[in-house]
Amino acid sequence: MSTLKLRVTVMGKRVHEVGYRLFLLEKADELSINRMEVSNRIQDGKEIVLILIDDEPEKVEEFISKIRRESPEPSSIEDVVVEEYQGEVMEIEKFRAILNTIQLSKIVQGGLQIIEELKGVREEVRETKETTLSGIYSLRSEIRETRENIVEELRETRGSIREILSGEISELKREISEIREALRREGII
């Protein structure tokens, strides 16, 4: 059985960290491709995805057609260059195992980074809690002190009002007595 071996270079502004290798593996699985390997590379300062593929010509041509029409959602493709290839191409199951290891490593690294970030967030929350509680305790103390000051001022004000009213009432009583006395002298009462 004759096979078609190709080297396919996908170039673009964004072809790394977008799930491109998993996308290509999915497309190869749809066509039951037996030999394929994919790697992310930098070429002339640009991101590329390098695909080596080897299988029946119809399958390979359909694969190329699919990747020209479709790409992972966040990617940005500028060109797909197809060239003949003479070297060896690994079996797709070996590539799948390698890719699984790479992806698991990324997941673990991402998880560890999240854990570290959560530790920082936890520390910030603890510090914020302590600061907030300290502020609340301080505010409680200020409220208590203010209440005590207000109560004391009310007592002093009440005492002052009593003295003023007592003096006013005494003055009124004296004036009423004088008025009564004057009315008696005049014989009105």
pLDDT, tens digit, 9 for 90 and up, residues 52-110: 999 999 999 999 999 999 999 989 999 999 999 999 999 999 999 999 999 999 999 99
Whether the Cβ atoms of residue 90 and residue 33 lie closer than 8 Å to each other: no
pTM over 0.95? The answer is no
- The whole-number pLDDT of residue 155 equals 87
Give DSSP secondary structure letters for 116-171.
Answer: HHHHHHHHHHHHHHHHHHHHHHHHHHHHHHHHHHHHHHHHHHHHHHHHHHHHHHHH
CATH of domain 4-90: 3.30.70.100
What are the extents of the domains in the chain? Answer: 4-90
- The whole-number pLDDT of residue 69 equals 93
Task: State the Cα–Cα distance between residues 31 and 4, nearest whole angstrom.
Answer: 14
Span 105-152, pLDDT tens digits: 999 999 999 999 999 899 999 999 999 999 999 899 899 999 999 999
* Mean pLDDT within 46-55: 96
